[in-house]
Amino acid sequence: MIFHSGRVKYESPQYCIDGLGNSTQTYNTSHLYLCVPVIWFSDHPEKHPIQIYLRWAEMLKARHGTSGIGVFPAYDMTKRGQSAVLTRTLSRYFPGIEICDCSQAISAGSGILSPNWLNLLDDEYLKALGGYDNVLKNLQGSNARIYKYDGGVIISASEHPQLCGNGEPLTVPEDYRIISRMLKPIRSEQLFGFWGVDTGHSLEWRERMD
């Protein structure tokens, strides 16, 4: 299921909702991506991304999710293939970038993927990390904040999303590194390639912030 603002089917849109699920498997996990231009939130200061994320998380009963500044593949398969190398380069220079390809969600299995600016965990994943108090303790001294909703929490790594540490390419934001190490026990270790990241480097991608 794809809804986007492009003029034609395969145009790369500014706005997009991309959903993936299996109607024949009642208890299988589905996936949902929402993409808006980076400047959208500055143009709509009354709509803070954390508040929107909290509302969607509670409404959808989400298990896990992330949010940050990212890149989204074109729906034209030729352009998608051509842009894979550029995506790989961007992700190497800017470790905080989010690759918004729903096919990587398939590789999550029973674990989560790599962290980003906003990190959603349901109560089950929160329990696997030792509970709310333990997570709060592990985040002491960092810029992270925890926001509760009915069914889980959203952890923000910092006040604003970051592409790299201290404005230096190839450098992981320290705020993201703290989150990544804390979430490592519940991270998926399944190999699965996706747009911009081949199978052999999929674990390296997920571990890039450790």
Tell me which of 208 and 135 has the higher pLDDT: 135
Task: Judge contact between 135 and 126, C-beta under 8 A.
Answer: yes
- At 106 the pLDDT is 61
Angstrom distance (rounded) from CA 130 to CA 125: 9
Which residue in the block uniquely carries the two structure tokens 């909290």? 54
Residue 29 three-state SS: coil
Structure tokens at 208: 């890039």
pLDDT tens per residue across span 76-99: 777 777 888 888 888 889 999 888
Angstrom distance (rounded) from CA 210 to CA 207: 6
